[in-house]
Structure 1
C-alpha cells in the first residue's frame, strides 16, 4: 500500500463489454493534466496540504498497459476526496459502478442505522429495526468506507452521512471495496434499540434499483399552519420556478404570528431563492448586508474586466472588490467587514484574486416581516443551501433549528481530461462566511439541535415541524415539548 495513495489498495472491477479503455500513456497524460489543474486552479488543497503530486505519481506507477476508464474514474474519485473540497468528485462516477444493489435503504436515528423498504416506507423488521452488521461485517465499517469514497477525511459529518446513504445501496461494489465475496443474498444482523434481542435476515440482492427516492419524504407545500403560523417550504435551491414564486407564496404568510422557513433537504444550486426571500426580513436602514466573501483561483491570463464580471451571474451574484461600478455604500460595507475580518484559513497570497462578495439589501416596496422566523435545516442542505443558511444565521428574529448542513462552497467547475473524457469537478474559490468561518468541512450549525426520528424517515410523522410549530405558537425558542 502506498502511504500517499492508500486507496490504490482497493479492489477494482472488470469494466465489462461496455467499458472503454485508454492506453497507459493516455491515462498518464490525463493524470498529469489533473495534477496541473489542481496546482493551478484548485482552491482548497493548500488548506489541507495533501501531497497530491505524490499520490498521482503512485497512481501512474500502477497503471497497466490498457486502462479501464471506469476504474481510472473511480481512482480519481477517491483521490479528489483528499483535497479538502466538498464539491470534489468525478461527474456521474456512480453510474459506472458494477451491479448489485440492496432492496433496502438505511435511515439514521440517534446514531443508530435502521433498514427500511424505500418503496413502502416500512421497516424490514419492526421488532428489530437497527442494523448491527451486513454480511458479517459491523455496519460502521460499511458506513466508514462509503464515507471515505464519497467524501473523504476532511468532509463534515453531515456531508459524509448525506453521500454515504446513497452509496450504501451499492452493496455489490462496496463488497469489493471491503474484501467481501459476491453472493446472491445480503445477510443482515438486526437488533432492537437496547441490543438485547437480535435476528439474522437474508434478502436477495437486486441487479439494479431505482435510487431516486427521497431520503426524507417531506411535503413541498407551503401555507398557514394551525395557530396562525406561516410555513414556507424551500424544497430546492436549484428550482428557478420556486424562486419566481416566492412573492406569491409569501403573500398569505405576511400576517402570520411567526414564520417557519423549511430548508431541509434543499440541496444546492443557485442563490435565487435567497435573493427573492431574504429582503422580506430587511429594513432600508439595514443598508447593504455582506453575507459571504470569497477569493478565486482564476486563470493567470484573465483580465481585470473579465474578473469583474466572472461571478456577477444569477447563480452566484457576487461582486468584485475593485469593480468601479460598485455602489458607494456597498463598497463601504465591504471595507468595513474586511477591516475586522479574520478568515479561518489564510489563502496563499499570489495564488488568489482579490475579494468577491455577496450582498443583499432591502427592496423598495417589499413588505417587511418582523415576527419570529424559524429556519429548519439538516444534512441535506449544501452549497447554495449552505449560503442560504449562513445568511440567515445571526439575523434578528431568526432561529436556526435542526442538524448541521453539508458544508461546501467553492464555485466548482467540471474539468474534462483530454483522453478518457472523465470530468472532474473541483472548487476554484475559497469561500467564507461573514464570521470568517469556512463552509467546507464544517457546514452551518443550528442554534437549536433537532434530528429526524425514525417515524419521520418512514413518512409517518414530521416531528421536527410539529415541535417547531409548537415552539412558534408559544413564542419561546426551546418550548417544543
Structure 2
C-alpha cells in the first residue's frame, strides 16, 4: 500500500476497508451443535454468539485498525474473514472457535492486536521458557529439574523444533519474527499437547507433562519493583521492570534524584513491556529538547464513506497524521552521564521512553533492538465468556519518519545477550554494556 500525506490529513489507497460494514453468511443448519454450559462458563456459547463476536471483530478491525500499510500489498482482510467465518462456525467447540479467532487476528501481524479467551489462558503453561539466542532455541527459565536454563532444545516429539513451532506462529500476533519468537512458547501454547517429548542438544530425551507439579523458577524471578544498585565503580543501575503503574516511574525519579552526580546512571529496561509513557521521568532527566513519535490513526467520515459505497473503485481510507511533538527541557533537569540498557522485551511505552531518550541525545542506547510494537489498543470485551480482543488504533514512526514497528528501536551500541550468559553468575550482559559505554566515551 502507498500512503500520500497532505498536511495533517492523508489517504491510504486500499481495498481492505469498505465504507459500509457487510457481514454475510449462510444460516447455520439446525443440526449445527448448540453448545451448552460447561465447567468453563455458566453461559451457553451458541452459534448466534459466534456470529455476534465475528461481526463485532469485522466491524472494529475495519473501522479502527491503523496498520494496513505494514501488511503485504496483496493482503485481503475480506477474503481472510470469509475463510475464518466458515472455520469459526464449523468449529466443534469453543476452544476451536477461539483458536480460529486468534489465527484471524494474528494475520494482521501486529503486536498490539490480539484475541484472548480465558478458557485457553487457564490451561497449564509450559514448565519452561525458551527463545532463540545465537541461532539456538535456548531455555531461559524453568520450573522443573529435568530442564535447566542454558539447555538447547532441538526436537519436540521427534520433530525439529522450528518445524514443530510453525503452526503456533499462525496464532501468535506480533509485528515481526523476532518479536514472535520471543513470545512463541507462551502465546502459542494452545497448540501444544498435554504431554510431549523434548529432545535436547546434549542428547537427553525427556517426557514433559504440562500438568505435573512444578518447583521454583530458575533463575529466580527478580522482584517486580524498581531496583537501584550502586556498583563498586560508582555506576548506578536503576532497573525499571514496567511502566504500567505510576509507582515505577515515581521510584525511578526518586532514585535519579538520590544519585545525581554519579559517574553514570544506567536505566535497565530489559523486559519492560510498557504501560504509560513516563513523561514525568523524561522531564526530570532530559537536558535538551527531545521529540516524540509521528502517529497515524484512522479517521472515519460517514458522508464520505457513504459516497464511496456507490463506487466500484477501491475505497479510500483516511488517516490523520500528527507529531512529532517536541518538548523543551526543564530548567532543573538533572545533569550528568546517562545511558539505557534495553532488549527485545522493551515494548510499547518502554519504546516511547527510549525513543525520546535517543532523540534528545541524552546518552547511548545499549543492548539489543526493542520489541517493535505500540498502538493504543481499542478493546472489546465479552465478560460473560471471559473473552476479549484488542485492535491497535495508531501506527507510530520515529521522529525522522523511519519505521520502528515491526523493526524495533536499534541500539547505539550493540551488546546482545549470549548463550553463556544464561549459566554465568552475575549479569554478564550488564557488565559488557558498562564496559562498552566506557569504551565509547569521547
TM-score of the pair, normalised by structure 2? 0.76
Give the C-alpha shift of residue 266 in structure 1: 0.8
For residue 96 of structure 2, what is the aligned residue in structure 1?
71
Distance (whole Å) between structure 2 residues aligned to residue 270 and residue 389 of structure 1: 13
Deviations 1:98-125 (A, max 9, x none): 84554333254312123476247x7736
Which segments of 5 or more consecutive residues in structure 1 lack a partner in the other structure?
A: 1-13, 177-181, 193-197, 302-347
For residue 440 of structure 2, what is the aligned residue in structure 1?
477
Deviations 1:201-226 (A, max 9, x none): 33444268799988975894213322
Is the aligned partner of 1:466 residue 2:420?
A: no
Is the aligned partner of 1:174 residue 2:191?
A: yes
Distance (whole Å) between structure 2 residues aligned to residue 449 and residue 216 of structure 1: 25
Aligned residues: 391
Distance (whole Å) between structure 1 residues aligned to residue 383 and residue 435 of structure 2: 57
User: In 2 relative to 1, CA 349–443 (structure 1 residues): closer, same or farther, beyond 3 Å?
Assistant: farther
Q: Secondary structure of the residue that 2:171 maps to in structure 1?
A: helix
Q: Secondary structure of the residue that 1:201 maps to in structure 2?
A: strand
For residue 249 of structure 1, what is the aligned residue in structure 2?
255
Distance (whole Å) between structure 1 residues aligned to residue 323 and residue 148 of structure 2: 52
1:89 to 102, 109, 114: 114
For residue 163 of structure 1, what is the aligned residue in structure 2?
183
**CA RMSD in angstroms, aligned pairs only:** 3.6
1:114 to 135, 138, 145: 138
Distance (whole Å) between structure 2 residues aligned to residue 226 and residue 73 of structure 1: 52
Deviations 1:230-269 (A, max 9, x none): 2222221212112123332012332122221111111110
For residue 34 of structure 1, what is the aligned residue in structure 2?
57
For residue 147 of structure 1, what is the aligned residue in structure 2?
169
Distance (whole Å) between structure 2 residues aligned to residue 78 and residue 211 of structure 1: 33
Deviates more, 1:462-471 or 1:389-398: 389-398
For residue 232 of structure 1, what is the aligned residue in structure 2?
238
User: In 2 relative to 1, CA 109–430 (structure 1 residues): closer, same or farther, beyond 3 Å?
Assistant: closer
Distance (whole Å) between structure 2 residues aligned to residue 446 and residue 94 of structure 1: 36
TM-score of the pair, normalised by structure 1? 0.70
Distance (whole Å) between structure 2 residues aligned to residue 431 and residue 423 of structure 1: 24
Deviates more, 1:223-232 or 1:233-242: 223-232
Give the C-alpha shift of residue 406 in structure 1: 1.0
For residue 413 of structure 1, what is the aligned residue in structure 2?
378
1:132 to 133, 154, 158: 154
Deviations 1:327-350 (A, max 9, x none): xxxxxxxxxxxxxxxxxxxxx975
For residue 29 of structure 2, what is the aligned residue in structure 1?
none
Give the C-alpha shift of residue 63 in structure 1: 4.5
